[in-house]
Amino acid sequence: MRLPIPVGERRIVMQEYGNIVVYKQDFRRPNGEQIDTFRLYTAKPHPVLFLAVTKDLEVIAEGQYRHTVKHPIWEIPGGNPKGEQTPEQVIAAELLEETGYQYENLVLLGEHQLFEPASFDVEYSAYLALGCRKVQDPKPDSTESIEVELVPFRKWLEMIWSGEVVDDKSQAVTLLALPHLGVRFEYPTWLGGKI
């Protein structure tokens, strides 16, 4: 397979908070004739996203305003490491701060998940936080406006399937968590039955 070839260096278009950078990068197409310019978005260190579930199998869902769609959407919690924080420390801090809950156990679902590899050079770690229990009222950052709701797991899946949960990260992490929550699927009989 002939691949596009990078031409020259990446050029910084924008940089914020020291770790979020937008680059421009030129690539020569395999036919050697045309040069395409791509904008590449990066963020390091990479964020941590997690599906938080109570002992009663309720998803701790967050309703949060998102500027791109100009209204709140339902999503799972997440955050970026501060300093040398481990993913486990990020989850503990974000879960407590945004929802007032603490987890009992964590399951790593994936370390190098990609947001949107066509233009985002950003990986995230995905986790399942189990046995979550409320220990205090939420204390979100001053820039965050978050509504917390406990959603029965079956209803959460229905919200995804019906299009009420449109955040693809939340959908993907939920899918990765299914086997750890005892969810089994069956193929239609014409595909041979059970997985």
- DSSP characters for 141-188? -TT--EEEEEEEHHHHHHHHHHTS---HHHHHHHHHHGGGGT---B--
Is there a contact between 25 and 38 (Cβ–Cβ < 8 Å)?
Answer: yes
Q: How many helical (H) and strand (E) elements, i.e. helices and strands, does the chain have? A: 3, 12
The span from the CA of 28 to the CA of 180, in Å, is 44
- Amino acid 37 reads T
108-154 pLDDT, tens digit per residue, is 999 999 988 888 888 999 999 999 999 999 988 877 789 999 999 99
Residue 2 pLDDT more than 80?
no
Residue whose token pair is 């985002």: 120
The span from the CA of 101 to the CA of 62, in Å, is 12
Kindly report the pTM of this predicted structure: 0.85
Residue 38 pLDDT more than 80?
no
Q: Which residues pair with 100 in a beta bridge?
A: none
- From 128, 126, 129, select the one nearest 101 (Cα to Cα): 129
The span from the CA of 110 to the CA of 89, in Å, is 17
Q: What is the mean pLDDT of residues 94-108?
A: 97
- Amino acid 54 reads T
At residue 194, the pLDDT reads: 57
